[in-house]
Amino acid sequence: MRRFCLLFCWLLCSATSMADEPHTIAVITASDAALSASKSMTAEELNLIFWRKKLYWQGGVPIHPVNLQAEHPIRLTFSKTVLGNSPTEQTNYWNGLYFHGISPPYSVQSEEAVLRYVANTKGAIGYVDACKVDDRVKALLWISNTKISATAPEKMNCVTTP
Amino acid sequence: MKKRFILSVTSLLLLCKLAVAEEAQPPTLDSGLSIGGYSSLSIKAPRDSATELALDNLSLIAHWEGESRLKFFSELELEHPFIWNKDDHSTKKEANFDLERLYLDYNLSEKLNLRAGRFLTPAGNWNLLHAAPLVWTSTRPLVTSRLFPSSTNGLMLYGSVPMQNSAFEYTFFAETLKDQVHDDDEIRFRDVGGARFTFNNQMNLGLTLLTLREIDPHSPSYRLVGLDFLHKFNDLELSGEAYYRFTDSGQNGGGGAYLQSAYLLGNEWYALTRLETFQSPRDGSAERWLIGATKRLTPKQLLKMEFVGGTGGIPDEPRGFITSYSVLF
């Protein structure tokens, strides 16, 4: 029985370490969003949106980007890949934009919160682990190994959590 | 044994579920109105006049954005509400309200926006981010405050265009209404117009092109060309601006430059150095050097200490020791 317990713990640890590996990140908007222009989004446009340089979708709908909290590993990967630096290095920038009446993206605690925010807020855009994308949202771009692509990678490296 | 195993597995699963339990509710959009501001308290010990303790400013920023293409922004500043002079132990109240900014923004298209009202003149980095909690030093480089107006009343067209790994930002503007209220020590300008282009790559390069006159009826019409940059190399931030102003007939109308470094020493302390040169027909010429240290107390609070030296006497820009505390709220 003890051997079985050890084996079970090892399997759990392995699953956890696999979960820590960098996953593909999906950039998402609401699945029923009337943001037809967003279908052809580029990495440069995504950069402008999350720097709050681009504030409106085509058609005049305000863009509401949403971030994961600053320490979240997916936020760190997204920030480094899309914006080129970490959230802590952006303090001066966001203070400067605040001075001009532009707030940084909303920040939420979990990927489920991102999914709900994006699904329920007109003009919202966010990002989650690509394995967590569901019917409520649609993926526009995928970020994998520091590359941003408009096509989904063949291998997602998804882990089913118990 | 079986019970202990089930207990262990349950504990592990509970740990796994902790992250889910921490979920935050998605934020709801409020009425769209936000109110904030900034303030700065300083002690100035100029080398040729008395030490002063002053509440330099108290600015109130209000902005509104709804779900439409329209946005509103305003900044009202209470300047010098309190000054205490060490030599004669007197307190002065030179307080005056200054409407720094008041404008409406309208989104015309994905890459084009219209701004109407009173806005900061789009010239260089410093003028656009001049609030005390946003700049490393208590003193402002001479060249950023004496060659063009800090604010303009008029119309502006602006936008951002994505480019390869960066963004190109453009601004065109023109004055449509002259300043109605002035500080006594303020250089007054008229017929202000121009453009600013920034290329937000690693160097954050900016180009400013202006035409303007000083309010003096004998003032010639000036053209101004400015270049600015801001670059970060790991713990070092380098920034600078350079301007050259000339008349229609090509005569020198003033100019200057500054180069500033901010180096992260650790524990949010930054070592600062700055070199400046400045010259204008009105003020003559001056050179400045600055050495100082700034502590970022929190992301929105700065404590600054600096010593300014150099040559040339410019009103309101004394040399000596200055320390200040500033907060963005």
**B5 chain-A contacts, CB cut-off 8 A:** 1, 5
CA distance A111 to B124: 39
For B273-303, give one letter per residue: b (16+ CB within 10 A) or e.
Answer: ebbbbbbbeebeebebebebbbebeeebebe
Query: Given an 8 Å threshold on Cβ–Cβ distance, is A44 in contact with B19?
Result: no
Q: Is A20 on the interface with B (CB under 8 A)?
A: no
User: Between A and B, how many CB-CB pairs are < 8 A?
Assistant: 101
pTM of this prediction?
0.83
Residue B196, classified by CB atoms within 10 Å of its CB into exposed (0-12), middle (13-18) or buried (19+), is buried
Asked if B124 contacts B145 with a C-beta cutoff of 8 angstroms, the reply is no
Chain B residues within 8 A of A109 when measuring between CB atoms: 22-24
What residues of A are in contact with residue B129 (Cβ under 8 Å)? 96, 99
Residue A14 contacts B, CB cutoff 8 Å? no
Interface of B with A in 182-211 (CB under 8 A): 200
Per-residue model confidence as pLDDT tens digits over A9-51: 554 444 444 445 567 999 999 886 556 545 578 898 999 999 9
Please give the helix or strand (H or E) that residue A78 lies within, else none: helix A73-78
Q: Rounded to an integer, what distance in angstroms lies between the CA atom of residue B277 and that of residue A98?
A: 31
Report CB contact under 8 Å: B61, A101: yes
pLDDT in tens, chain B (329 residues): 444 444 443 443 333 333 333 333 333 345 789 999 999 999 999 988 899 999 999 999 999 998 899 999 999 999 988 899 888 777 776 788 999 999 999 999 888 999 999 999 999 999 999 999 999 999 999 999 999 999 999 999 999 998 877 789 999 999 998 876 666 667 889 999 999 999 987 789 999 999 999 888 888 999 999 999 999 988 999 999 999 999 999 999 999 999 999 999 999 999 999 999 999 988 899 999 999 999 999 999 999 999 999 998 776 677 899 999 999 99
- Burial readout B77-115 (b: 16 or more C-beta within 10 A, e: otherwise): bbbbbbbeeeeeeeeeeeeeebebbbbebebeebbebbb
Q: Do A5 and B164 touch (CB under 8 A)?
A: no
* Distance to chain B for A96, nearest Cα, Å: 6
Q: Which of B98, B34, B56 lies closest to B327 in space, CA to CA?
A: B56
Tell me whether residues B27 and A108 touch, CB distance under 8 A: yes
- For the sheet containing A25-30, what is the strand order? A106-108, A64-68, A124-129, A25-30, A137-144, A147-149
A100 vs B contacts (CB less than 8 Å): 73, 128
